[in-house]
Amino acid sequence: MTSRLSPAQVQRALRAAAAAPAGRAAAAPRNAPGAAPAANQGAARGAGEVRIIGGQWKRTRLAVPVLPGLRPTPDRVRETLFNWLGQDLTGWRCFDTFAGTGALGLEAASRGAASVLLVEQDAALAARLQQHVQRLQAQAVQVRRGDGLAQLRQCPAASLDLVFIDPPFGSTLFQSALQAAAQALAPQGRIYLEAPQAWDDAALAPLGLTVLRHLRAGMVHAHLLGRGA
């Protein structure tokens, strides 16, 4: 997911990420607006680089900018998510609504997804995602710059097997994104929701969704959702 930044801020961060030594995560700027506090280091872990955990690109490290509010999904949470999903995503159609670093969508592609659409509104981050796709020769992955929620709403019914929803924690996009994902979800499809608070079945029932799995890691609540009975 991303935060709103000026083009100059993004470009400086991208240059810093590219210059960082391989294998070392760049330190997050102290006291930067929107930066994670010390008690929330679990949510900020991975800043400076993203490590693909499994599949054909296992252990590949990809540089990402250190930006206030850019919060890659922690390795532990991603590993748990793909354990829930069953590791092998061969043939799955995936949509990453707020791609940011691309950690979730690229992980899905590494594990065999047939198609992965990474949507990112920030131009510089979208360009960085395209660089990752070219480096990995990820033919199943498409990067698109734009409004992820608007594009998710345009997906045909039952056209997606896995939707990633990880918007800025301070946003009001969770309900709208879940509604759009539910409309595009295949009957046996799954939604991954990352949020600052837990969502329960009572909140999800009006959307026709239910909680299949839930994990709390620091300030992050990770949910695997499916269609309700």
Contact 128, 100 (CB under 8 A): no
pLDDT band at residue 50 under the 50/70/90 scheme: confident
Looking at the chain, the whole-number percentage of residues with pLDDT higher than 90 is 66
Domain membership of residue 1 (yes or no) is no
Contact 106, 132 (CB under 8 A): yes
Task: Tell me what pLDDT residue 8 has.
Answer: 54
Structural domain boundaries, residue 189: 7-227
CA-based Rg of the chain, rounded to a whole angstrom?
A: 16
Q: Give the C-alpha separation, 221 to 109, whole Å.
A: 23
Span 24-30, mean pLDDT? 32
Q: Is the pLDDT of residue 34 over 90?
A: no
Contacting residues for 109 by C-beta, under 8 A, at least 6 apart:
55, 94, 116, 136, 138, 140, 141
Residue-wise pLDDT for 53-79, tens only, equals 999 999 999 888 877 777 788 888 999
pLDDT band at residue 228 under the 50/70/90 scheme: confident
SS3 content of the chain, % helix, strand, coil (to 5): 35, 25, 40
Residue-wise pLDDT for 101-155, tens only, equals 999 999 999 999 999 999 999 998 999 999 999 999 999 999 999 999 999 999 9
Domain count, the chain: 1
- Say which CATH number the domain at 222 has: 3.40.50.150
CB atoms near residue 151 (< 10 Å):
15
Domain membership of residue 157 (yes or no) is yes
Smallest CA-to-CA distance from 47 within 22, 21, 24 is with 24
Contacting residues for 209 by C-beta, under 8 A, at least 6 apart:
178, 182, 191, 225, 226, 227, 228
Looking at the chain, the whole-number percentage of residues with pLDDT higher than 70 is 79
Q: Which amino acid is at 27?
A: A
Contacting residues for 84 by C-beta, under 8 A, at least 6 apart:
212, 213, 224
Task: Tell me what pLDDT residue 63 has.
Answer: 86
Domain membership of residue 2 (yes or no) is no
Provide the whole-model pTM: 0.79
pLDDT band at residue 9 under the 50/70/90 scheme: low
| CA dihedral for 112, 212, 73, 9, sign (positive or negative) | positive
The label of the residue with tokens 């198609």 reads 115
Residues written for the chain:
229
